[in-house]
Structure 1
Amino acid sequence: MKKKLLENIILPLGDQLTGGSFIKKLKYWREVCDLSQNELNNLQKEKLSKILEFASSNSPFYKALAIPHSSDPYEWLANFPILKKQQFRDHLSQFLTTNNFEGLTAITSSGSTGPPSKIYFNKEELSSNRALQILWWEWAGYRFGNSILQTGVNMQRSKEKAIKDKLLNTRYISAMSHSEAEILRELRLLQKSPRDHFVAYASSLYLFAKTSLDHGISNIQFKSIISLGEKLLPHFREAIERAFSCQVFDTYGASEGFLIAGQCSEGTYHIYSPHLIVEILDDQDQEVNPGESGRVVLTGLDNFTTPLIRYEVGDMAVKSKIQKCSCGMDLPILGEVIGRQTEFLITPKGKYITVQNVVRIMKHFPEIGQFKLVQEVADRIRLFYTTDEQIQEIDHSKILGMFEEIFEEPLGMEFNRVDSLPKAKTGKFQLIENNLGST
């Protein structure tokens, strides 16, 4: 009853009041899931042709490239250069297809591979992305009216988000500071007031599971758990499913507005091909063979405000050998996502510093390029960073002050300016490296 009320009356009314199209988009994306492989291919081809045509005519950056038009949009796409994050970040205004910012929403990327980027969406584009996210939740068994526990980084909820939390029966808690005592309080609350689904960063989910297992708490169970934002390592998944007696559904997206792949009930990562094109390329920018790993390059098919064509997101992934999933959906399949390895640092008072903590703090310091935190002893964290040559000095005290404000305790931090940071074997810069006990 509540599901019907929300989906047929309350949420459509909300769309009317805000000028959004969330419910309309959700129903559309649900229908797309039932399309055959041939229908999905035709839809993607049609949308690709439209975005290439629009971007080439309306985006100053792509207009200046003057890529020769082709009747085959895939041939046309192949002639576009690979777009690096730094290039996009430095020339954002040249990518935008409008000078009128009224009604647009700016989303800032996570900055996990360098300074964050800003992406603009109009209301329809934003509604489409939000609907796709809910669709992934529905793959995990979510239905409107189910209760949710969700972690996030911004506890200053806007009026619109507070209403959304209320309507969707969501309890929103901070992912920025997890201590064992804080997690135990949340677990005790879950024992008294259970929730149907837990939606959180992979690191948060693991810390909740680890604390639950360490303290012998075995009476908390969810219908499903949805992981986002970070790589879900195998031992994370094992601990989470053991602690909370349910399946974990992992999702893979990029905060530039790409919802790349989500797991179905069979555990397969399905690429949402009508929303984007995923290329997995080798060092010569050629598509890798099935079973091989390569760089993830994305072309968005839904954002006409800030079109991104052949955008290298900074991750590595494996091209799937599997062509068909037993779940019944004909959406293409993605193999393993290699990037976004996750570790934790530990404060003197036992709080966990996660990748999400770090990137959210460092977003406030755009003068810093890439960075990495290393912990080798319990009371000291070393921050290595790069910055432009013309910047003479970085105010380390401000960075330290923000870390200490978030974690509410003194931290021993050392700062090291370097020319470059070494890449991890995954091909990405590993933001956190915990070497406690290894020295």
Structure 2
Amino acid sequence: MIPLFDISLKLNGFPIKKAKAELSKIVNLSQEEYNIFLQNKKEEIVNFHLKNNSFYQELIGNKTDLKWEDLPILNKQNLQKPLEERLSKGFPKKDVYLNKTSGSSGTPFVFAKDKYCHALTWTSIFMRFGWYKIDFNHSLQARFYGIPMDFIGYQKERFKDFLTHRFRFPVFDLSDEVLEKFLQKFKSKKFDYINGYTSSIVLFAKYLEQQNIILKESCPTLKACFVTSEMLFESDKKLLEKQFGIPVINEYGASELDLIAFENPKGEWQVNAETLFVEILDENNKVLPYGEEGRIVITSLFNKAHPFIRYDIGDIGILDERSTPQKPILKKLIGRTNDIAILPSGKKSPGLTFYYVTKSIVEDDGNVKEFIIKQTQLDTFEIEYVSEKALDKVQIQKIKEAIALYLEPNLNFTFTKKLVLERSKSGKLKQFTSYI
């Protein structure tokens, strides 16, 4: 079979061969060599951005002789400026990989990665899926994700799915009738693995439980299920393993960075120490020892286009006492849960559907800083947002159209501009909450 995935990355200018060689080298370093590599990469990325990135220079100010622990903590609010103001010299918009964060934490922004950094991201994903004998060039993926509903966006995603050997199950409607259609697809296609949003995959497993069906019996080629973007609770993991009849692997990542942690075949949640440096900090920005709970702060060791240095991702976690710099293990992740919206028609939609709705208001000017969505009745939702300027009629109309498209028509939405939004005890902003 032609390796379409690798070819599509090369055609888009991502130096995948070079990235594979570099990752292989990093993975095979001795502990001592790794410690030197990490020290060098940290110094290198800071020095690069101090020389080439005015946004980062401004953040540092006039301080000199900075120790690592004195470097400022970058957060999502810092990054809500037009992208041009945050890009490094020599990395114009046309030559980098651009994307928007999902806004699952309620604070969306546009970001960039240089092409080599993004090639390394893909290489690190290949390696981790490879632990479970999954090869993106040949293995067929059952993908539980959203999809843009506008014609061009939709066709583009479907073409990408074709190139990357995956079949998409859109998660905007997860009613029993739709889940039955999903099941029929598993009976007719030779899927190798499942990948997608935790809550959607759990809903599918609950449907199978009601029907008393083990998925692997309907689709014998299935090898593994990878869940992402939302918290996987232990009880849900047991349900998935029982109803699917395959290993369930927990993934924790962020589009602006890389895979952050990925469950290895020993059942440890292994942190990516090849392209990232992960720290756990207390409320005074002091580094906590392994075993203590604090804020997850991450440095992208290779991204030259855009600084992600000591970046507070907005999650709380604990690194296991058994961790080493070369092999950190995430003991616990606190946060990242999303509710399910139940609509008047009986349709069920995961909270992450709102990512596709709110995408329509997340413009690169950084006006909307944060938002949360609350479901107060079956047909009634409240959007609370923090912005410099209130949303105008055109923007509100745009959101209403997106809501009718992705969810269903005749839902009532109120928009309230706030100075601050309420947060959970962990400091996490939950993008969607249902009160019904």
The alpha-carbon deviation at position 62 of structure 1 amounts to 2.5
Corresponding position: 1:22 with 2:19: no
Alignment: residue pair count? 421
Partner of residue 187, structure 1: 183
**Which residue in 1 is equivalent to 2:382?**
383
Q: Which residue of 2 aligns with 1:131?
A: 123
Native 8 Å contact 2:371 2:384 kept in 1: yes
Residue 276 of structure 1 aligns to which amino acid in structure 2? L
Change (3 A) 1:158 1:49: farther
Q: Find the aligned partners of 2:10 and 2:415 in 1 and give their Cα distance.
A: 51
Q: Provide closer, same or farther for how the CA distance between residues 336 and 380 of structure 1 changes in structure 2, counting only shifts above 3 A.
A: same
Distance (whole Å) between structure 2 residues aligned to residue 171 and residue 266 of structure 1: 29
**What percent of counterpart residues are identical?**
24
Which of the residues 79, 90, 110 maps onto 2:102? 110
Task: Encode CA deviations 1:20-57: one digit per residue, 9 max, x unaligned.
Answer: 22244235424533433333222222211211111111
Q: In 2, Cα distance between the equivalents of 1:23 and 1:220?
A: 37
Instruction: State whether residues 384 and 421 of structure 2, in contact with CA within 8 Å, keep that contact through their aligned partners in structure 1.
Output: yes
2:296 aligned with 1:296: yes
Unaligned runs of 5+ in 2: none
- Closer, same or farther: CA 322–116 of 1 in aligned 2, 3 Å: same
Alpha-carbon shift at residue 300 of structure 1 (Å) = 0.9
Query: Does 2:172 match 1:172?
Result: no
Whether 1:153 and 2:146 are equivalent positions in the alignment is yes
Once residues 31 and 67 of structure 1 are traced to their aligned partners in structure 2, the CA distance between those partners, rounded to angstroms, is 37
For residue 345 of structure 2, what is the aligned residue in structure 1?
349
Equivalence map 1:201-216=2 (5 Å) = 201-216=197-212
Query: Which letter does structure 2 place at the counterpart of 1:235?
Result: S
Contact 1:282 1:288 in 2 (8 A): yes
Q: Give CA-to-partner distance per residue, 1:117-143, whole Å, 9 cap, x none.
A: 111223222212122222221123313
> Deviation of residue 409 (structure 1)?
3.7
Distance 1:90 1:101 in 2: 15
Query: How do 1:9-408 and structure 2 match up within 5 A?
Result: 17-64=11-58, 65=60, 76-90=67-81, 92-98=83-89, 100-143=92-135, 144-155=137-148, 165-218=161-214, 219-220=217-218, 222-323=222-323, 331-366=327-362, 367-377=367-377, 379-388=378-387, 390-391=389-390, 396-408=396-408
Q: Distance in 1 between matches of 2:157 and 2:407?
A: 25
Is the Cα–Cα contact under 8 Å of residues 290 and 323 in structure 2 kept in the other structure? no
CA, structure 1 residues 29+177, in 2 after alignment: closer, same or farther (shift >3 Å)? Answer: farther
| Residues in 2 aligned to 1:330 and 1:141: alpha-carbon distance in whole angstroms | 23
The residue that corresponds to 2:411 in the other structure is: 411
Cα distance in 2 for residues equivalent to 1:26 and 1:177: 38
SS of the residue 1:88 aligns to: coil
Q: Displacement of 1:331 after TM fit?
A: 2.1
Instruction: Find the aligned partners of 2:234 and 2:198 in 1 and give their Cα distance.
Output: 11
Cα drift, residue 104 of structure 1: 1.9
Q: Is the 8 A contact 1:113 1:429 kept in 2?
A: yes
User: 2:108·2:369 contact (CA, 8 Å) conserved in 1?
Assistant: no
Instruction: Provide structure 1 residue ranges, at least 5 long, that are not aligned to the other structure.
Output: none
**Are the equivalent residues in 2 in contact too, given 1:69–1:76 (CA < 8 A)?**
no
Is contact 2:368–2:388 with CA below 8 Å preserved after alignment? no
Note closer, same or farther for the CA distance 1:371–1:122 as it changes in structure 2 (3 Å cut): closer
Equivalent residues of 1:228, 1:250 under 8 A apart: yes
Structure 2 distance, partners of 1:95, 1:428, is: 25
Classify the secondary structure of the residue corresponding to 2:352.
Answer: helix
TM-score of the pair, normalised by structure 1: 0.86
Shift of 1:284: 0.8
Q: Is the 8 A contact 1:368 1:385 kept in 2?
A: no
Alpha-carbon distance change, 158 to 331 in structure 1, aligned in 2, over 3 angstroms:
farther
What is the rounded CA distance, in whole Å, between the counterparts of 1:140 and 1:177 in structure 2?
Answer: 30
CA contact (8 A) 1:209 1:244 kept: yes
SS of 1:404's equivalent? Answer: helix
